[in-house]
C-alpha cells in the first residue's frame, strides 16, 4: 500500500486548501437548504441551536476526519486502514472509507441533477430575468423542467462537464485554480446581494427573523433539524475532507484550519438567509416555503423587485458557483481512489468516474418523470437514493469516524497531528469526540431510519 505522501498531489498553499475545503463545505446545503430549513423551524431559535451543533459536533468530526486523512495520506479506505494498522486496530476499519466513497457517489447522482436546475435557472435569469413571472407560472415552469427528461439531462450533464473539466486538469491546474477564483467570487456576490437588500428593504425584518430567537418554537424536531443541517452542511463523512486532508502539508494546523472552514461555512449560510429572506418578506412570501423556496418562490420576487434582472443573474450565478465547488469535493475522492487502486491516470480516472455518475444521473432525471411511478419501500427513485445516502450512510459514516478517532487512535498520534499546545483545548476536543459526538450522531441516525 503506497501512501499519497510520496510523489502524490499536495496543496501548493494553505490558502488553496482552505478555499477547496470551504468550497466543498459551502454548497447548495448552505444557500438552498439552509434558508428553507431555517424557515420551516422558526428562524432565530433554529439558528441558535444550529450554531451550538456546529461548535459541539461539527468541529470535532471535521478535525478528526482531517487528522485521519493527513495521517494516512491516502483516499479514505487507504487512510482508515493505514492508521488502524499503525494503532494496532483491525484493518477492516477501511470499510468506513468505502462507506464514505459510496456516500459521495450516491450524493453526486442526485446532487448533479439539482445543480442542473441551478444552471437552467441561471440561463432563464440571463435571458429573461423572470419578467412577468407570477406564482402560477413559476410553479408551472419548475414542473415543466422536471417533466422534461431531455432538459433535465442537458443541464445535469452540463454541471457534470464543468466539474469533470476541473477535476481532469488536476489538483494545481484544476481544483486550486478554480477554487481560488470561484470562492472569492462567491463571497463577493453574496456581499453585493446583501448590500442590495439593505438599500431596497426587507433587511431589518430578515435580520430580526434570523437572529432574534423565539424559544417557543424549540422542540425535539428543531434540535434534530439543526443537528442534521450542521452535519450535512459541513461536508463530513463524504470522503472529501479526508481526501483533502491527505494532501495537507504537516506544517498546516488542522485545528486552526477546521475553525476557519466552519466559520466561513456558517457565515455563508447566515449570509444566504440575509440574501433570500429580505426578498421573501418584501414580497409577502412564505419563509417556510420548503425546497421550492429558491426555484418557485424567489423567481416571483425577482420579477417584481427593482433591478430584478441583474439580481436574479447574480443570485443564480452565486448558486452555480456553490454547486460546482461542492461537486468538485465529492468527485475528487472518487477519482483519486481510482488512480490509487487501479493505477489509472487522472485523465482516465476522471473520465470513468464522471461517466459512471452521468449514467446513474440519467436514472435520477427519469425519476422525476418517466420513472416517477416506480416505488421502492414507499419511496421514489430519488427519495430512496437520498434516504440511503443522507439518512443512513452519512450519519453512520460520521459516527464511525468519531468512534475510530476517539477510541482507537492513540492520544499521542492525535496530539502530534493536531499539534494543539493548549491542553485544555485538546481535552475539550478529545472528550467531545469520545463522549458527545457519538451519541448525538447516533440519535440522528436512529431517528433518520425510523
pLDDT category of residue 317 using cuts at 50, 70 and 90: very high
Residue 196 lies in a domain: yes
Q: What is the pLDDT of residue 187?
A: 93
Q: Which of 112-116, 222-226, 351-355 shows the lowest mean pLDDT across its residues?
A: 222-226
Of all residues in the chain, the percent with pLDDT exceeding 70 is 98
Structural domain range at position 19: 14-449
Residue 5 has pLDDT above 60, yes or no: no
pTM of the predicted structure, to 2 decimals:
0.94
Q: What angle do CA 66, 255, 17 make, to 5 degrees?
A: 55
Q: What is the pLDDT of residue 291?
A: 74
- The average pLDDT across 322-334 equals 97
Q: At how many degrees (to 10) do helices 254-282 and 44-53 cross?
A: 170
Residue 225 lies in a domain: yes
Q: What is the pLDDT of residue 224?
A: 81
CA distance 297 to 310: 17
pLDDT category of residue 138 using cuts at 50, 70 and 90: very high
CA distance 106 to 117: 18
Residue 278 has pLDDT above 80, yes or no: yes
- Taking residue 341's Cβ as centre, other Cβ atoms within 10 Å add up to 12
- The average pLDDT across 299-325 equals 94
Residue 292 lies in a domain: yes
63-74: pLDDT as tens digits: 999 999 999 999
Of all residues in the chain, the percent with pLDDT exceeding 90 is 77
- All cell numbers assigned to 240: 472529501
Q: What is the pLDDT of residue 391?
A: 87
Q: Which of 106-120, 220-234, 258-272 shows the lowest mean pLDDT across its residues?
A: 220-234
Residue 78 has pLDDT above 50, yes or no: yes
Percent of the chain as helix, strand, coil, to the nearest 5: 80, 0, 20
151-163: pLDDT as tens digits: 999 999 999 999 9
The CATH number of residue 353's host domain is 1.20.1740
Reduced to 3 states, what is the DSSP secondary structure of residue 103?
A: helix
The distance from CA 40 to its chain's CA centroid, rounded to whole angstroms, is 20
Residues 404, 96: contact at Cβ < 8 Å?
A: yes
More confident residue, 228 or 98: 98
Residue 412 lies in a domain: yes
Residue 23 lies in a domain: yes
- All cell numbers assigned to 43: 428562524
CA distance 428 to 434: 10
Q: At how many degrees (to 10) do helices 94-127 and 76-86 cross?
A: 150
- The average pLDDT across 102-124 equals 97
Q: What is the pLDDT of residue 332?
A: 97
- The average pLDDT across 195-208 equals 93
More confident residue, 326 or 283: 326
Q: Which of 34-43, 121-130, 266-275, 288-297 shows the lowest mean pLDDT across its residues?
A: 288-297
More confident residue, 220 or 199: 199
Q: What is the pLDDT of residue 4?
A: 43
CA distance 169 to 233: 27
Q: Which of 51-55, 290-294, 333-337, 410-414 shows the lowest mean pLDDT across its residues?
A: 290-294
Residue 2 has pLDDT above 60, yes or no: no
**Nearest of 439, 417, 434, 442 to residue 60 by alpha carbon:** 434
pLDDT category of residue 97 using cuts at 50, 70 and 90: very high
CA distance 110 to 129: 27
Residue 364 has pLDDT above 60, yes or no: yes
Domains in the chain: how many in total? 1
Please, what's the largest Cα pairwise distance for the chain? 66
Q: What is the pLDDT of residue 449?
A: 84
pLDDT category of residue 8 using cuts at 50, 70 and 90: low
Q: What is the pLDDT of residue 3?
A: 43
Residues 406, 63: contact at Cβ < 8 Å?
A: no
Residue 338 has pLDDT above 80, yes or no: yes
Amino acid at each position: 500500500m503506497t501512501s499519497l505522501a510520496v510523489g502524490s498531489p499536495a496543496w501548493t498553499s494553505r490558502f488553496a486548501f482552505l478555499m477547496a475545503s470551504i468550497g466543498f463545505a459551502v454548497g447548495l446545503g448552505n444557500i438552498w437548504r439552509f434558508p428553507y430549513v431555517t424557515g420551516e423551524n422558526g428562524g432565530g431559535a433554529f439558528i441558535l441551536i444550529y450554531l451550538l451543533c456546529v461548535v459541539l459536533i461539527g468541529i470535532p468530526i471535521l478535525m478528526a476526519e482531517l487528522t485521519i486523512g493527513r495521517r494516512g495520506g491516502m483516499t479514505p479506505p487507504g487512510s482508515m486502514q493505514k492508521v488502524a494498522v499503525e494503532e494496532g486496530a483491525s484493518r477492516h476499519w477501511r470499510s468506513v472509507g468505502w462507506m464514505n466513497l459510496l456516500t459521495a457517489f450516491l450524493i453526486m447522482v442526485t446532487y448533479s441533477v439539482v445543480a442542473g436546475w441551478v444552471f437552467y435557472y441561471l440561463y432563464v435569469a440571463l435571458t429573461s430575468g423572470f419578467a412577468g413571472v407570477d406564482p402560477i407560472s413559476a410553479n408551472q415552469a419548475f414542473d415543466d423542467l422536471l417533466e422534461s427528461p431531455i432538459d433535465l439531462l442537458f443541464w445535469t450533464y452540463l454541471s457534470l462537464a464543468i466539474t469533470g473539466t476541473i477535476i481532469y486538469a488536476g489538483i494545481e491546474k484544476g481544483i486550486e485554480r478554480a477554487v481560488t477564483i470561484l470562492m472569492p467570487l462567491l463571497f463577493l456576490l453574496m456581499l453585493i446581494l446583501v448590500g442590495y437588500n439593505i438599500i431596497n428593504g426587507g433587511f431589518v425584518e430578515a435580520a430580526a427573523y434570523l437572529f432574534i430567537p423565539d424559544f417557543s418554537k424549540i422542540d425535539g424536531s428543531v434540535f434534530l433539524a439543526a443537528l442534521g443541517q450542521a452535519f450535512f452542511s459541513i461536508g463530513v463523512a463524504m470522503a472529501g475532507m479526508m481526501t483533502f486532508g491527505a494532501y495537507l502539508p504537516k506544517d498546516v494546523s488542522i485545528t486552526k484550519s477546521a475553525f476557519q472552514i466552519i466559520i466561513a461555512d456558517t457565515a455563508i449560510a447566515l449570509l444566504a438567509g440575509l440574501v433570500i429572506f429580505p426578498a421573501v418578506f418584501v414580497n409577502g412570501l412564505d419563509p417556510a416555503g420548503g425546497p421550492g423556496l429558491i426555484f418557485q418562490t424567489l423567481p416571483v420576487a425577482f420579477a417584481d423587485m427593482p433591478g430584478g434582472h441583474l439580481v436574479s443573474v447574480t443570485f443564480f450565478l452565486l448558486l452555480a458557483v456553490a454547486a460546482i465547488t461542492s461537486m468538485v469535493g465529492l468527485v475528487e475522492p472518487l477519482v483519486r481512489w481510482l488512480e490509487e487502486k487501479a493505477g489509472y491516470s487522472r485523465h482516465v480516472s476522471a473520465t470513468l468516474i464522471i461517466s459512471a455518475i452521468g449514467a446513474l444521473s440519467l436514472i435520477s432525471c427519469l425519476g422525476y418523470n418517466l420513472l416517477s411511478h416506480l416505488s421502492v419501500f414507499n419511496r421514489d427513485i430519488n427519495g430512496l437514493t437520498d434516504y440511503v445516502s443522507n439518512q443512513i450512510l452519512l450519519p453512520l459514516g460520521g459516527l464511525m469516524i468519531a468512534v475510530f478517532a476517539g477510541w482507537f487512535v492513540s492520544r499521542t498520534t492525535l496530539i502530534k497531528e493536531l499539534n494543539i499546545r493548549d491542553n485544555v483545548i485538546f481535552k475539550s476536543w478529545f472528550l467531545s469526540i469520545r463522549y458527545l459526538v457519538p451519541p448525538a450522531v447516533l440519535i440522528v441516525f436512529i431517528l433518520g431510519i425510523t
